[in-house]
Amino acid sequence: MQMSPFEFITVFVSLIVGFALSHILRAVSDLYEIRDRVKTYWLNSLWVVTVIMWSIFTWWGLWMLSIERIDWTYAQYWFLVMNVSSIYFFTTLVLPKATDEGTIDLENHYFSVHKAFFSIVAFSLFSSAVVNYSLFGEPLIGPMTIMPSIVGCAAIGGVFTDSKSYHKGIGIFMFIMFIAFQLTDNTVISYTV
């Protein structure tokens, strides 16, 4: 039996999303095991939840490719892979390795990686606008491209500021945005035998 174009395209992309989820869940488990040495930080924990939601929502959104896409170009596939790869990269930055010696301070970790983290988040959001335009025919200026661009601009602000107030605000804002994205999704997956 031959794979459909959707199956062929999404196998690799699904692996990347799966590795991202595996990484973050393993990091949470590892840090829990050494919890006596971990100084928690609510904002970092909020980002862990946001990143998990982001990964799951991305995988869920791949289903629309089975309906919308018939023909693929390498450029379209490349943008999709780069977008999903960015999710993996910022997922690896959210939590430190549990192998570190001494106390692991999640607030210190957050502010030590925030420039790289938000650079990659911004790339992911801006590239999702390109993916929505390229793969789904969404207009460059429309609900599926404007919202990621607005949130991407907020992420750029996270790159250039060390303000704890700004970071708390953007963390809450992006968490709420991902809740909204999920609540407004009307994708239905059905299978007929």
Compute the radius of gyration of the chain from its Cα atoms: 18
Task: Report how far residue 23's alpha carbon sits from residue 92's, in angstroms, rounded to the nearest whole number.
Answer: 7
The whole-angstrom separation of Cα 12 and Cα 170 is: 31
According to the model, what pLDDT value does residue 193 have? 59
Decide: 135 and 126 in contact? Cβ < 8 Å. no
User: Which tokens sit at 159?
Assistant: 């790159």
HSE-up of residue 115 (Cα within 13 Å, Cβ side): 4
The confidence score (pLDDT) of residue 49 equals 96
How far, in Å, CA of 82 to CA of 120, rounded?
A: 11
Q: What is the pLDDT along the chain (193 residues), one digit of tens a residue?
A: 777 777 777 888 889 999 999 999 999 999 999 999 999 999 999 999 999 999 998 888 887 777 655 677 888 889 899 999 999 999 999 999 887 678 999 999 999 999 999 999 999 999 888 888 887 777 777 777 777 888 899 999 999 999 999 999 999 999 998 888 788 877 777 766 5
- State whether residue 42 is helix, strand or coil: helix
